[in-house]
Amino acid sequence: MITTGIDVGAKTVKVVLMEDGKIRGKAKVLSGFDQEESAREALEQALKEAGLAREAIGSIVTTGNGRKAISFAKGDVTEARAAALGAVFLYPTARTVIDVGAEESRAIKCDATGKVLDFAVNEKCAAGSGAFTEAMARALEVPLEELGPLSLKATQTIPMNAQCAVFAESEVISLIHSKTEKADIARAVHDGLSSRVVAMVRRVGLDSELVLIGGVAHNPGFVESFKRTVGLDDVRTAAEPDFVGAIGAALAAAE
Amino acid sequence: MAELQEFWRWTEYTWNNPDVDWRKAKRIAAGIDVGSVSSQALILADGEIYAFSNLRTGSNSPDSAHKAVNGAMKDTGMELSNIKYTVGTGYGRVNIPFANRAITEIACHARGANFMAGPKIRTVLDMGGQDCKAIHCDERGKVSNFLMNDKCAAGTGRGMEVMADLLSIPIKEIGELSYQVDTEPAPVSSTCVVFAKSEALGLMRSGWSKNMVLAAYCSAMAHRVSLLLGRIGVEDQFFITGGIAKNPGIVKRLEKELGIESVKTKYDSQIAGALGAALFADTLLQKGGA
């Protein structure tokens, strides 16, 4: 049976089609204004990639902050559940899943079956999410996808005093005015985000195998800062971090 | 080309009392409040308010302090050397070269509130440009307890500035416009200003008027501040200082939520910090200026 997982995120909608534990097709589109419309579009793209007709797919399960907005889905699972299921499916030893998305982040403790044992979430504040890097990239006048690589070129670590994204924007601007290298500012931005994420991870405990998921895990600057902040030489990053939640939802659809 | 309009600041101005001749005063003391967004200087002649300025903070504290005090002395013939004691306060207080002493803005706002609104004031809410403080004080304006949010832009003037800019509405019009709605909408649900901005845009796309968005944002902000006040406990009488006190869109909604009216005075709520600092300066001057 082919099952479908749709992760309706704040910024993008991800669709994954799975059959017998294998990914048959996937697609990602911007969430836009109408989440259901975007979900339909992503589903069609995924079907096309898989060479399947709409009739071929069985149950559809959604997750993500817009998971209740998709009328054609059979049901939905929480983001934490989807993240844990997806992460353990991809990395069977993973027991702590760190999901940093566009507007939310969460740290999840789970068991070998992907069952959620404990989790912490930040959904109130942009400072712990991708929105923070987006705002800072804007202030630095650097395209978002270049912010991470830029930060890897930093030659020194400078502190960022502001936590709040709104205040940090002013701080970034005054750092630019005081002729601080953009690369060093970019590192400070990622260090700021990392310290927020790590503080959240510590709330669930930092003692088991980690895996980083969510769109922000694409950002090498964040991953580097995260390793330094958390004090680990190596942190596993999911190969396609933004699809893990959708994979988890597709797995939940098979249950 | 049309000049780029700024929506988010309060108007700058200076004031002095023409009926007072400062040259006859025995004591000239000043308070300078260098805030994150605006700076005020206030001059007391024998303990009475003689002159003040309410100007913007520039890129550095010493210049902002000089600009503020020069603004207050404008058209008075007074010079900096005539001021016998100066207390600095606010965000930039440690960087005021001509100040004799720096005192925290919490102490100064409580003292200023005590002067402006009287000794019955027990709770002072200072809503500044980048922080918000709930202060408890005694009948002499002495701080007994306080709570502060300086970590998050939500519930500070900055949050309102972001909204003013987003909607292109001057900050001084926001309060009134926020009541020009048919029904009071539910508050904006996002706490974070960054998310509230996206939410506001979404609401407008779904057909809300700007006034509706303002109403929803004002009540969200009032609620946010009420939580801070709730943690310290609001005791009658209650007074609001800082720029936001001039925004009835927040003040009236906050009063409704708390079930308590705030004391209104003839003074500009933004001068409370500088006034408190000047009162401290005047006291220190009487004690011999040490």
Q: What pLDDT, on a 0 to 100 scale, did the predictor assign at position B102? A: 97
Q: What pLDDT, on a 0 to 100 scale, did the predictor assign at position B11? A: 87
| pTM, full prediction | 0.89
* B38-45 and B28-34 strand pairing: antiparallel
What backbone torsions phi and psi does residue B265 show, to the nearest 5 degrees? Answer: -130, 175
Interchain contact, A131 vs B194, CB within 8 Å: yes
Q: Which residues of B touch A177 (CB under 8 A)?
A: 59
Q: What pLDDT, on a 0 to 100 scale, did the predictor assign at position B3? A: 53
DSSP bridge partners of B101? B87
Residues of chain B with confidence (pLDDT) below 50: 1-2
How far apart are the CA of B86 and the nearest CA of chain A, in angstroms? 29
How far apart are the CA of B158 and the nearest CA of chain A, in angstroms? 8
How far apart are the CA of A166 and the nearest CA of chain B, in angstroms? 6
Q: What pLDDT, on a 0 to 100 scale, did the predictor assign at position A253? A: 95
Q: What pLDDT, on a 0 to 100 scale, did the predictor assign at position B260? A: 96
Nearest to B162 by CA among B203, B125, B208, B199: B199
A12-15: long-range contacts (C-beta < 8 A, 24 or more apart)? Answer: A12/A102, A12/A215, A12/A242, A13/A38, A13/A39, A13/A41, A13/A42, A13/A64, A13/A66, A14/A42, A14/A242, A14/A243, A14/A245, A14/A246, A15/A39, A15/A42, A15/A43, A15/A45, A15/A46, A15/A246
Q: What pLDDT, on a 0 to 100 scale, did the predictor assign at position B4? A: 58
| Cβ-nearest to A126 among B59, B151, B192 | B192
Exposure b/e, A22-60, CB count within 10 A at least 16 = b: ebbbbbbbebeeebeebbbbbbebbbeebebeeeebebb
**Spatial separation of the C-alpha atoms in residues A218 and A241, rounded to whole Å:** 7
DSSP structural state of residue A191: H
Give chain A's length: 255
Interchain contact, A163 vs B151, CB within 8 Å: yes
Q: Which residues of A touch B151 (CB under 8 A)?
A: 163-164
The stretch A182-204 carries a mean pLDDT of 96
> Residue with structure tokens 């330094």?
A228
Interface residues of A toward B, Cβ cutoff 8 Å, are 33, 103, 124-127, 131-132, 135, 163-167, 174, 177
**Spatial separation of the C-alpha atoms in residues A156 and A183, rounded to whole Å:** 9
Interchain contact, A165 vs B193, CB within 8 Å: yes
pLDDT in tens, A212-253: 999 999 999 999 999 999 999 889 999 999 999 999 999 999
How far apart are the CA of A68 and the nearest CA of chain B, in angstroms? 17
Mutate to test the interface with A, among B194, B197, B201 (most CBs of A within 10 A): B194
Q: What pLDDT, on a 0 to 100 scale, did the predictor assign at position A234? A: 85
pLDDT in tens, A79-113: 999 999 999 999 999 999 999 999 999 999 999 99
* A57-63 and A2-8 strand pairing: parallel
Q: Rounded to the nearest 10 degrees, how much is the dihedral formed by the CA atoms of B4, B10, B13, B16? A: 180
DSSP structural state of residue B187: P
**Spatial separation of the C-alpha atoms in residues A7 and A104, rounded to whole Å:** 13
